[in-house]
């Protein structure tokens, strides 16, 4: 009797575990789309001659403003809690938006970040106050830029140029999450880190399916 009981447990438990995780993937494989048609950044200038775009990229978008040193701590938080864990993903990038005239300060910050990790995925772009405000408004978030065109929040933009976040349906009484507070290590570690994992897993699964379909054909 014990022998059959043990064999039954060995058979049933893996099956239950598989169904549990399969159900989890089905229910949480995609991070909700909050807004579509986010503004373009092709007309912004970068620190190099490189053309920066949202297209076909998973982007963490931030607005550091004129006094970049006031947001330096936020950049280091992002670098430690989000970027270093995920920068190996080929299509993953950080785009920080600043007004013209902030180029030297941005270069200095980039050099400091380079002492910690490979910063090839960090992109700094510069524009007029009007173009920065227009881009920010396209997010349609409840947040505001301050008078120096900065915010402590950062945003996840997907490959289709849509804003991703939480729509408030995952948990009871959960609020919508449009952006993530880069000044809060807890928010980055406990909320944004999970959401980045979800969207990266979504695209990994899509890529695997695409490759599998190609092989079948």
pLDDT in tens, 41-85: 999 999 988 999 999 999 999 999 998 988 999 999 999 999 999
What is the reported pTM? 0.82
Pick the closest to residue 157 from 38, 42, 29 (CA basis): 38
Q: Which residues have a Cβ under 8 Å from the Cβ of 68 and sit 6 or more positions away?
A: 98, 102, 105, 106, 109
Task: Decide which of 19 and 11 is more confident.
Answer: 11
101 torsion bin: left (phi>0), alpha (psi -120 to 50), beta (else): left
Neighbours of 181 (CB within 10 A): 18
Q: What is the DSSP letter of 49?
A: S
């Amino acid at each position: 009797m014990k022998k059959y009981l043990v064999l039954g447990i060995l058979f049933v438990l893996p099956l239950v575990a598989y169904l549990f995780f399969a159900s989890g993937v089905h229910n949480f494989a995609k991070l909700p789309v909050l807004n579509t048609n986010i503004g373009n950044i092709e007309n912004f200038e970068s620190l190099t001659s490189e053309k920066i775009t949202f297209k076909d990229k998973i982007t963490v978008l931030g607005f550091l403003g004129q006094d970049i040193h006031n947001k330096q701590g936020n950049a280091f938080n992002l670098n430690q809690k989000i970027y270093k864990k995920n920068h190996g993903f080929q299509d993953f990038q950080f785009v920080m938006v600043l007004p013209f005239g902030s180029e030297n300060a941005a270069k200095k910050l980039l050099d400091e970040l380079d002492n910690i990790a490979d910063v090839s995925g960090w992109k700094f772009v510069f524009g007029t106050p009007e173009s920065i405000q227009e881009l920010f408004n396209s997010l349609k978030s409840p947040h505001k830029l301050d008078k120096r065109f900065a915010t402590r929040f950062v945003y996840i933009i997907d490959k289709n140029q849509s804003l991703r976040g939480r729509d408030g349906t995952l948990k009871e009484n959960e609020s919508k999450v449009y952006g993530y507070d880069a000044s809060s290590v807890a928010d980055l570690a406990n909320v944004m880190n999970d959401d980045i994992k979800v969207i990266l897993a979504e695209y990994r699964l899509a890529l695997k399916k695409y490759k599998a379909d190609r092989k079948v054909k």
